[in-house]
Amino acid sequence: MEFRCIPDTLPTVLDQWDGDCLAVGLFADGDTPAAGQAEPVQLAQLAACLDPSLPGRLEQRRFKAKPGSCLSLERLDGTPQTLILVGLGAPADFDLAGLRQACAAASQAAATAGARHLGLAMPLAGLDGSAAARTMAEAARLALFSDQRFKGEPEPRNLPETVSLIGLTEDGQPSLAAVSATCAGVELARELVAAPPNVATPQHLADTAAALARDFGLELTVLERADCEALGMGSYLAVAQGSDLAPKFIHLTYRPAGTATRRLVLVGKGLTFDSGGYNLKTAGSQIEMMKYDMGGSAAVLGAMRAIAELKPAGVEVHMIVAACENMISGGAIHPGAIVTASNGKTIEINNTDAEGRLTLADALVYACKLEPDAVVDLATLTGACVIALGEEMAGLWSNNDGLADALLGAAEAEGEGLWRMPLRSSYKAGLKSPYADLKNTGPRPGGSITAALFLQDFVTPKLPWAHLDIAGTVWSDKGRGQDPAGATGFGVRTLVHWVCSGGLGLES
């Protein structure tokens, strides 16, 4: 899919448009005009240039221009053959998020219509041209993603060959250059999460990292079980010991061409399948969906794929994934067992289904030994976070205000929902154990907070660190916005934006 910016305004484009499909964003009826882009003006332009009966047809179809709504009109004569009207809602509420939603909906409608050359004409007044270009292109490409790798007979799909961003000057062109790399990273993450657990094994994650290292000149180290034993990773290996599949501790590194002034570490939870262990997941617990428990590792692998292609200057990036399965067998860890992490802390395992934090504990210790400027971990960690924030927002915990603000800003710029949650130290009392340094779970209330507090125990004090609980956001049953149903690739865009901004926020 090729993207291009067309600086002409909509009236000019209507006189000369030769593509087969044009999508135009319209504001809702009765709303105040916004910077000359109000719905009545655009509708009048369309009617004059394309079809005088258009206002009547919209009234007949009861098109109210609600956000994300689409109306496709086929024209038997003239160009474009397909006109797609996209609802934008109220002008006062329209922003980059609304632009993203509109372009995703329009692109899906265009694909359904079999369009080959799509034009996107959206109101851009008040929006940064570079950000708008990136938003429109990402929305168009990601909304049309379809994973058919495991179908015996893949469905034929006719996707647009070119997408023209109408009303954008060449100022937006540099942003378009980065879209392909970022979207490729998101698509990799989606494919990893969507793959069945008999395919996306720990070895598969290691092989994916090896392919990235080979294709993009990255450095790769994979620690085997014996290597992890030598480093004292008793917490991680306790989770892995119930599976017949060997654990893989993956360390992938990007080094810039010149001097690095920042060293950042991205850590992703890598449970390729989570049965719950002896605290077995029961009916209604979505055990059949626990292939997506490696959504954190998918996000950091996808981010590394994009970063490796974008080659940001001045920043060195390390990726850590402690990959394994959490299974039941005669050798699986017992509830009540006490294990020792690589920093010497002992952990009483009072719930084998709280396994992700056990793998992350040793991964975070390893990450901190790299002496980074900041560590960010992503994990499908707790159902409690889903209850608190739903399926469109991930939780953010951090010991550093500057880092937290930078991540929140990156998430907002990329259209990924992120909400800062409290690291309330008094809740740590719930992790006390009479026999070990701490338990791996606390009481049910505030479960996502105690999980974050558990992880903080394995981070070097005062080192800027952030934890993203993405349990609710890595999968969408029905699809939302630019994310079709299934794996979303959540977190990739936020991480890439943050890293390519140089790890901003660390000065605070």
Q: Which of 351, 302, 346, 297 is nearest to 326 (CA)?
A: 351
The pLDDT of residue 508 is 45
The pLDDT of residue 507 is 59
Q: How far apart are CA 389 and CA 395, in angstroms?
A: 7
Taken as a whole, the chain contains a residue count of 508
> Of the residues 100, 134, 262, 357, which is catalytic?
357
Which residue stretches of 53-153 are H helix? 54-60, 96-112, 129-143
Superfamily per CATH, domain 2-168: Leucine Aminopeptidase, subunit E, domain 1 (3.40.220.10)
CB–CB of 189/380 below 8 Å? no
Strand pairing report for 393-398 and 417-420:
parallel
Q: Which of 369, 364, 349, 466 is nearest to 408 (CA)?
A: 466
Strand pairing report for 465-469 and 374-379:
parallel
What separation, in Å, do the N-terminal and C-terminal C-alpha atoms of the chain show? Answer: 41
Give yes or no: 281 in active site.
Answer: yes
**In the numeric block, which tokens belong to residue 284?**
């209604």
CATH number at 180-500: 3.40.630.10
The pLDDT of residue 421 is 98
Give the dihedral of Cα atoms 147, 390, 303, 132; nearest 10 deg.
90
Give the dihedral of Cα atoms 223, 226, 231, 237; nearest 10 deg.
90
The pLDDT of residue 172 is 65
Q: Is the dihedral of CA 154, 155, 161, 166 positive or negative?
A: negative
Q: Which of 213, 228, 208, 175 is nearest to 297 (CA)?
A: 208
> Of the residues 57, 64, 225, 281, which is catalytic?
281
Domain ranges of the chain: 2-168, 180-500
Neighbours of 60 (CB within 10 A): 9
E-strand ranges in 362-409 read 374-379, 393-398
Question: Which residues of the chain fall below pLDDT 50?
Answer: 30-40, 508
Q: Is the dihedral of CA 202, 207, 210, 211 positive or negative?
A: negative
What is the amino acid identity at position 430? G
211 in helix, strand or coil?
A: helix
Per CATH, 2-168 and 180-500 having the same topology is answered no
Give yes or no: 420 in active site.
Answer: no
Quick check: pTM over 0.85? Answer: yes
Give the dihedral of Cα atoms 28, 30, 34, 37; nearest 10 deg.
60
The pLDDT of residue 41 is 52
Q: How many CA atoms lie within 13 A of 29 on its CB side?
A: 6
Give me the phi and psi of 375, to 5 degrees please.
-125, 130
